[in-house]
């Protein structure tokens, strides 16, 4: 029998254990729930359950997702949040049935996001919050079905035009990131007026150390800007700051019980 990651008290995630963790959602979909089980390695035995619709491996200690995850050809919902993942496999682009992907609260960098993400043509929700992204991958601009994007609690200094041009985007969370400078913000704000939800944050909502950290980052951006122009303009949202601090919103806000077709 194939072996998987270890759970509490050294328990192994075997095929039988995994089968017992399959739940049927209210609309009849098969969800494999292996969340909060102390798993340190992706349990490869679950690849034999490739007829599941939803997979929850959140709140574990997984560091690597194997290329073989693409064997889940029917998967619509994938939750990997709150692990130690620093890179997604290129094969994730083959999972074209995905509607929901949550990889927030990991160790992802921009380089850890493969260009193959642009093949997820049906995806509607992507949460990349609470990671180490210093730029938004332009591949997201190819995902025309996106309704919700989470970019909160990263190291972003701007939002690319490719995001603002997504035709079906309704919710964009960019809390606790360094925001664009004035002229960049002008164009960005004009382009996102159709959004139903745009999440920012005020200085009063941050702890002292987080506030100081973000102010230092903003001062650095202002110094760089002053080197390029004679009279630097004051940044829009001057009291909106965004360190890579602990997110206040619950992860449950980004969980979808069932992705509608």
pLDDT band at 45 (very low <50, low <70, confident <90, very high): very high
> 159 with 173: CB under 8 angstroms?
no
Helix (H, G, I), strand (E, B) or coil at 117: helix
pLDDT given at position 259: 45
CA distance 134 to 154: 7
pLDDT given at position 249: 45
pLDDT given at position 177: 87
- In this structure, is residue 185 part of a structural domain? yes
Is residue 140 predicted with pLDDT exceeding 50?
A: yes
CA distance 7 to 35: 10
- In this structure, is residue 144 part of a structural domain? yes
Q: What is the CATH number of the domain that holds 139?
A: 3.80.10.10
Phi-psi map region of 176: left, alpha, beta (phi>0 left; psi -120 to 50 alpha): left
Residue 190, number of CB atoms within 10 A of its CB: 9
Residue by residue, DSSP assigns the chain as -----B-GGG-B--HHHHHHTEEE-TTS-EEEE-TTS---S--GGGGGGTT-SEEE--SS------GGGGG-TT--EEE--SS------GGGGG-TT--EEE--SS---GGGS-GGGGG-TT--EEE--SS--SS--GGGGG-TT--EEE--SS--S---HHHHT-TT--EEE--SSPPPPHHHHHHHHHHTTT-SEEE---GGGS-HHHHHHHHHHHHHHHHHHHHHSSSPPPPSSTT----S----S-GGGG--SS---
CA distance 77 to 238: 38
- In this structure, is residue 81 part of a structural domain? yes
* Residue appearing with tokens 């209210």: 26
Average pLDDT over residues 234-248: 40
- In this structure, is residue 11 part of a structural domain? no
Of 132, 134, 127, the closest CA to residue 158 belongs to 134
- In this structure, is residue 157 part of a structural domain? yes
Does the predicted model carry a pTM greater than 0.75?
no
- In this structure, is residue 50 part of a structural domain? no
Instruction: Identify the H or E element spanning 189.
Output: helix 182-191
Average pLDDT, rounded, for the chain: 79
Residue 219 lies in domain = 63-252
- In this structure, is residue 36 part of a structural domain? no
User: What is the number of domains present in the chain?
Assistant: 1
- In this structure, is residue 233 part of a structural domain? yes
Is residue 229 predicted with pLDDT exceeding 70?
A: no
């Amino acid at each position: 029998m194939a072996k998987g990651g270890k759970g509490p008290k050294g328990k192994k995630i075997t095929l039988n254990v995994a089968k017992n963790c399959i739940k049927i959602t209210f609309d009849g979909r098969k969800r494999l729930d292996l969340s909060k089980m102390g798993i340190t390695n992706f349990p490869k035995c679950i690849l034999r359950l490739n007829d599941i619709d939803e997979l929850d491996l959140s709140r574990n200690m997984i560091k690597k997702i194997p290329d073989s995850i693409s064997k889940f050809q029917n998967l619509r919902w994938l939750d990997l949040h709150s692990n130690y993942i620093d890179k997604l496999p290129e094969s994730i682009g083959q999972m074209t049935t995905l509607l929901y992907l949550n990889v927030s609260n990991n160790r992802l960098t921009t380089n850890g996001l493969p260009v193959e993400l642009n093949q997820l043509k049906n995806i509607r929700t992507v949460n990349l919050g609470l990671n180490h992204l210093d730029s938004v991958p332009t591949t997201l601009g190819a995902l025309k079905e996106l309704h919700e994007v989470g970019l909160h609690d990263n190291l972003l200094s701007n939002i690319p035009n490719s995001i603002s041009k997504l035709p079906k985007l309704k919710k964009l969370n960019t809390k606790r990131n360094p925001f664009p400078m004035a002229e960049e913000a002008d164009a960005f704000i004009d382009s996102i007026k159709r959004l139903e939800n745009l999440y920012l944050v005020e200085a009063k909502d941050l702890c002292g150390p987080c506030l100081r950290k973000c102010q230092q980052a903003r001062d650095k951006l202002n110094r760089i800007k002053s080197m390029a122009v004679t009279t630097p303009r004051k940044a829009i949202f001057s009291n909106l700051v965004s360190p890579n601090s602990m997110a206040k919103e619950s992860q449950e806000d980004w969980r979808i019980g069932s992705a509608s077709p």
